[in-house]
Amino acid sequence: MIVIQNSIDVNSINEAEFSNTLQSVLDELNVSDSELLVRFVDRIEIQQLNKTYRHQDKTTNVLSFPSDLPIEIEEAILGDVVICVAVVTEEAQAQGKTFENHLLHMAIHGTLHLLGFDHIEESDAEKMETLEVKILEKMQISNPYQ
């Protein structure tokens, strides 16, 4: 289940379509029974989160926060994906992408982090990017890394 929290009241996002599309991604990744919270935030909030949890005092496009429920609680909660709409908008314009496609890419990217994927090491980055491209291709979205 996808839960959308639009704390900044962005009207340009079709939340139902976004949620349905992201749910299909969870289905493909075999975690369709899991709950995922996606939060749309402003620059101030993403910068504060980035500073607090990653010790980087700057804005970013997406952050992921895995669920920290004890294993004894048998809830399938992946965690939170927090997306800064302003940063995603700027990146989409600069990279010649549609806002919708870039937003979905950032949501998928954040979700993959929740599933244990990372891009610190080059080999891990290649695996993560390959999976992102494969998922996006099924949605007829071009490779975002080209």
State whether the Cα torsion 44-66-19-28 is positive or negative.
positive
In this predicted structure, the answer to whether residue 101 has a pLDDT above a threshold of 80 is yes
In this predicted structure, the answer to whether residue 6 has a pLDDT above a threshold of 90 is no
Q: How far apart are CA 16 and CA 49, in angstroms?
A: 26
Please choose, from the candidates 2, 6, 28, 10, the residue with its C-alpha nearest in 3D space to the C-alpha of residue 139. Answer: 28
Q: Where are the alpha helices (DSSP H) in the chain?
A: 15-28, 43-54, 85-95, 99-114, 122-138
Name the one residue in this structure whose structure tokens are 């004894």.
72
Q: What is the pLDDT of residues 35-71, one digit of tens each?
A: 888 999 999 999 999 999 999 999 999 999 988 765 6
Q: How far apart are CA 72 and CA 134, in angstroms?
A: 34
Q: Is the pTM of this model over 0.75?
A: yes
Q: How far apart are CA 129 and CA 118, in angstroms?
A: 9
What is the per-residue pLDDT for 71? 64
